[in-house]
Structure 1
C-alpha cells in the first residue's frame, strides 16, 4: 500500500501529461490543462498533499520520501519558472543517483549497509550477502538513473512513459531477481539448520 501511495503523484502526473492541452475556465480564470507544464504543477501539488498527509499521519517522512519531495519541488519549480521541461527530465536520474550513492556510501559509513538497515528486522544473512545485496542495489539505482537520462534526452516522445512505467517495471523485475537470489540462499540456510 505504501508503494502505491508514493506512486500516486507520478500517476496523476502521467494522466494529466497525456491529456491534449486545452484551455479550461475556472472561477473566471483561464488555465491551460494537459501537457508537460500543467502535469508538472499537478505533480507538485499532489506530492505536497500526499507527503503532507503522510507526515501528519506518521509524524515523519522516510528519507526516500523526503528526497523525492524535495526533488519534485526543486525540479518542478525550475521547470515551471523557466518554462523548460529539461529540468524535470533531470529529476529521475538525479534522485536515482542519490539513492545509488547512498547505498554505496553506507558500506563505508555507519555500522551496517543501507539494505541491511532496511531489511535486518525481516531476515538474517551473513555480512558478505548483505554487502553483495547492498552493492547490487547501488548499481541498479545508478544504472536506472543513466537509463532515465538516456531515454529523456534521446527518445523525447516516450520519456514520460518510461519514467512512469519503464522505471517501475525495471524496479519490479529487479526486486523479483533479488527475491529469487534471497529465496535460494534462505532455502539453503534452512536446509543447513535441519542437518
Structure 2
C-alpha cells in the first residue's frame, strides 16, 4: 500500500497529462507531492526523507519547467530523484551503523549484515539504472523536438500540430508528441513494473537468507549438549 502511496504524484501527473497536457500535469504533480508530504506528516507526525527529496526536486525542476516552458526539466526529474536515492543508499554503506535499506526494513525482517549490504548496494544500482532508463526514453523526445525546431524554426507547440505547422513539420510534430506520450507512459507504467519486479526479487533474496538463518539456529540448538533424544 505504501508503495502505491509513493507513486501518488506520478499517477496524478499521468492523469492530468492525458487530459490537459504536460504543463498542467507538472503543476498538479507539484501540488500532489506537497499533499503527499502533508498527509504523511498528519498520519505519522514526521516526514519521510525520500518524500522530501522528491518534493524538493519536483519543486525545483517542475518549477523550472513551468517558468521557462521547457519540458526538459520535468523529464530529467525522475533521473534526478533516482540518482539522489542511489547516492543516499551508497553513502549509508559508509555513514551510520546500518545501511539505509536495513533502517527501512530492519523492523520487519532480520538477515545477516552481509545480506543487508548486498541488498543496499542492489537498491543503489537499481536506482542508477532506472535513472539511465528514464534518460534513454526521454532522449527519443529530445531528438524529435530538435528535429522539429530545425524544420520549423519556431518554438515547439505540440497541442495542435496541423494548425501550428505545415509541410514536413506536421509529421515531425506528431512524432515529437508520440515520443512525449511514450515517456509519460514509461514514467508511470514502465517504472512501476520495473520497481515491482525488482522489489519482488529483492524480497525473495532476503527471505531465502532469513530461512537460512532460521535453519542454522535450529541446527545449533539441536547440537547443544542435553538436546540429544
Please indicate the TM-score interval, normalised by the length of the shorter structure.
0.7 to 0.9
2:111–2:206: 8 Å Cα contact kept in structure 1?
no
1:41 match: 27
Deviations 1:40-97 (A, max 9, x none): 1111122222322322332221100100111111111100000011000110001100
Q: How many residues align?
A: 181
1:30 match: none
1:88 match: 74
Q: Choose between structure 1 and 2: higher helix proportion.
A: 2
1:165 match: 189
Shift of 1:160: 0.8
2:172 aligned with 1:186, yes or no?
no
Shift of 1:163: 0.8
Determine the C-alpha separation between the residues in 2 that align with 1:117 and 1:14.
31
1:125 match: 111
2:55 match: 69
Structure-2-length-normalised TM-score: 0.75
Determine the C-alpha separation between the residues in 1 that align with 2:207 and 2:38.
36
Q: Which moved more, 1:154-163 or 1:93-102?
A: 154-163
Structure-1-length-normalised TM-score: 0.87
2:115–2:206: 8 Å Cα contact kept in structure 1?
no
2:12 match: 12
Determine the C-alpha separation between the residues in 2 that align with 1:38 and 1:12.
11
Determine the C-alpha separation between the residues in 1 that align with 2:43 and 2:115.
35
1:3 match: 3
Among 114, 128, 133, the residue aligned to 1:147: 133
Determine the C-alpha separation between the residues in 1 that align with 2:68 and 2:94.
39
Larger Rg: 2
1:57 match: 43
Structure 2: segments with no counterpart, 5+ residues = 142-178, 220-229
1:24 match: none
Shift of 1:161: 0.7
Shift of 1:110: 1.4
